[in-house]
A and B are shown apart, each in its own frame.
Chain A
């Protein structure tokens, strides 16, 4: 099937349910979605409404019950280094140092130590963790851990980066700083990003396009292209206008 040239990921009619003893929970209900090449796409929705499930399907960690996901026209059958993931709970390997964590993907690929160290160092510098190469995750703060997570995912040079509420566990100030940093990394090293969040401001600050998901049932409500040039100001009138628009939209979905 012919694919439009600038579409990186195509989700067609995705459905996913989970079964408990007494209920079937329809988490995703016939979702279709396109992600364009080098686009920073934000998926916005309240908590517990299936955004993570959608992301995990794109990552290949779980398989949808119905529908398929195409990456560059090829169907996804499982996880792989072409789709990097940044997890909300960091998922850092506690027995590895920061340097070893960041270089993990390269190690799996079989890249030699010297080259690996060089690439990892570049990304450690990019996220601002110079000097912490030999530290262990338990010695780092939440924000620092997530920076390691981002560096690790980015260092593996994936075609797509999937970020699952990466700043959800951080305090407000760290969060603002991380948003800024993510944007600057993305500007330096552009690639396709799908970013999941429940924070409207974060969505508008980061996204080229914001997709609003609703809960009952889990499907895509609406889309908002954000045309404000980056870097954006939280207090810019256009920003506030978008914020109002999207907030009103999400409020109805509760």
Chain B
């Protein structure tokens, strides 16, 4: 029985690796570890079945139940986190100046590049009028217009921290014209300067908004 549970757990780890869910859960450094662990567990399970005659003590039943239920859950219920809910609980990442080693032209900068740049050289007047083309998910900010954001992950989803850009959304006839949280968007626009709570800050003036599918790798290192 225990080798069956072990083999099932190994198969689940392999499935997690195959179905790309690791892109949503872990930093890429850990993906191969999950694959290797799954293969090793499967091999151990096969080896255990071949030598199952040796059973020198009774295996406790509760670990088998807990791990079987967990493995079944992982198999049938893939992760579908609300990135906005996750990010709302966490303060934005403070990206150090040392992380900015190369500066691309404005229209080629990713959202994370922009946030890094704004953190390292915060004078908003430097970027006024720069063309911007970024993609990210809509991050709900209570009492304020939503931001366009990405999640940075060093280890796994547990340590994910959001980085976001303030957006001036186009006015529409609907109630507020703001997109729904968690929606993935590609935004084209220009960087502008606005007065925010008594100080100047950079804001992305959205001119063209396109709904896109969530990328295969939604987390950024």
Is A bound to B? no
Mark A residues whose CB is within 8 Å of B: none
